[in-house]
Amino acid sequence: MVTLEDCLAFSGLTEDEILAIAEHEHIPEIAAAALAEYLLGQDDGPERIRRMIADDVRDAIARGDTEHARTLGLALRHFLETHPQVPRTAQQV
């Protein structure tokens, strides 16, 4: 049986990054892990993931959920640090 932890390992992203994708796309975490793995193989995939997480940060701020915005912000920073293929000009929230 494949576990969520296995899928996270295959995806190449952290759990917080996967949770942000799941939140943005309104899909289960395991589906978000599969989507992340797929997107990381696409030319524009890392930028699409960056936009998803940044959107989630903005949404959390807009609803006043500063703790969640902070968690998402840390996930975004980690994603940008570990995926240098995201254009530097795009690395804004």
- 44-86 tens-digit pLDDT: 999 999 999 999 999 999 999 999 999 999 999 999 999 877 7
pTM reported for the whole predicted model = 0.86
Name the average pLDDT for the chain. 89
Domains in the chain: how many in total?
A: 1
The domain of 69 spans 4-90
Better-scored residue on pLDDT, 92 or 37: 37
* Cβ-contact 79, 71 below 8 angstroms: no
Burial 43-80 (b: 16+ CB within 10 A, else e): eebbbebbebbbebbeebbeeeeeebbebbbebbeebb
